[in-house]
Each structure stands twice: as C-alpha cells, then as structure tokens.
Amino acid sequence: MDPVYLIVGLGNPGVEYEETRHNAGFLVLERVSKRHGCVWSKDRKMQSRVARLDFSGHKVWLSQPMTFMNLSGDAVGRLVDYYRVGINQLLIVADDADLPLGHLRLRAEGSSGGHHGLESVQLRLGLKEYARQKIGIGRLEKSEREISNYVLGKFSDNEKRLLDQVLDRAVDQLECWMHSGIQRAMNQFNGAIGAPMPKDRE
C-alpha cells in the first residue's frame, strides 16, 4: 500500500483568530487548498478540518486542528493513527516568532522552541523527529519572551504583502518535499524571500 502523507497547519479555530500571526500554519494550508482546488470538511472524530489532495502520485491529507493550539497533538495523533501515517510522511506547519517575517525554515526534526502547538505534537507522538516547516512572523522585541498579544494580533497591511509571497513559497516547498524529499526542499527553499534561490543539486 502506498504511503499516506499528512500535512498539518497549526492555528486556533474561530473567526476572531483568522489571519492572526499565530495562525500562519492555517494560512499555508489554505494556500495549498486554493492552489489545488481542495474541498474542506469538518471531521469531528479527527477533531480537524480536513481536505484530500492527490499530488505526484501520493495520497495527501491536509489538516487544520480544531482543538486550539495548545492541544494540537490530540488531533495530530488521531490523524496519524487513523491514516497510518509514517513519521517520514508527516509535516507540521507552524509560525515562529524567532524567525523574521519573510523567512521560511524546514527542518527534519528539532525542539519545540517554546511553541505550544509543537510541544503538544511532540508530547502526543512521543518524539521530536518529525518534519516541521516554520513560518517567520518576527517579534516586537527580541528580548521579550511573553508575546501572546503580538502573536494573536493580525498582520498589518504592509506585512500582508510580504506574507503573500511567503505563503506561495511555503506551498512550493511543501510540494518539493512530497515530490523530491526533505533535503532538496530545505536546500531549495529555506531562507528569506528575496534572497537568491540556490541552484538545485542532484
């Protein structure tokens, strides 16, 4: 049986959280579904909005957990178990306040970096060796650790213009990950928008 891929964008459900910085993961998944014409539906059992995508010969499930950020692992765990997703076919998309807006970073593993959604996923899976794509949202002051109001705020008009480019590049990177693997996806797309794109190497 062909492996099933699962891409989960982290965020908070509800109108009041739409287009906030902390919902960057949701925004990336919305851009994926828009590009490929996917149809979303609510799956109460999976505690998620889900959409099906067929890409490069792969069966792919997209998910936006409806559990709120701090309990994201509950939805991820259910999806992984139900669809029997291998750890190498799982990718989590999340915002990162330690990356400047306009930066994209895909990693094969790593710590949560204090991100409560990633902490929840790591706790539920019992490991940190899963791929995660981080969308830079920056922070007001690098010395400030308490940034709840900032991450739950909406992007400004100026930020939205740059974010639009970031979302397109994030989707390009996810497609590369599914088609060519994580190493090529990291080499080709990690970094800042506007920076020279590295030449693809075999």
Residue found by looking up tokens 């794109």 in the block: 197
**What is each CA distance from 12 to 1, 9, 45, 111, 191, in whole angstroms?**
34, 10, 18, 21, 26
Contact residues for 191 (Cβ-Cβ < 8 A; gap 6+) = 103, 104
Catalytic residue among 22, 103, 115, 179: 22
Residue found by looking up tokens 């709840």 in the block: 148
Mark whether 22 is an active-site residue.
yes
Alpha helices in the chain (DSSP H): 24-36, 72-83, 116-125, 148-151, 157-180, 182-189
Contacts by 141-149 with C-beta closer than 8 Å and gap 24+?
Answer: 145/114, 147/97
- Residues with active-site annotation: 22
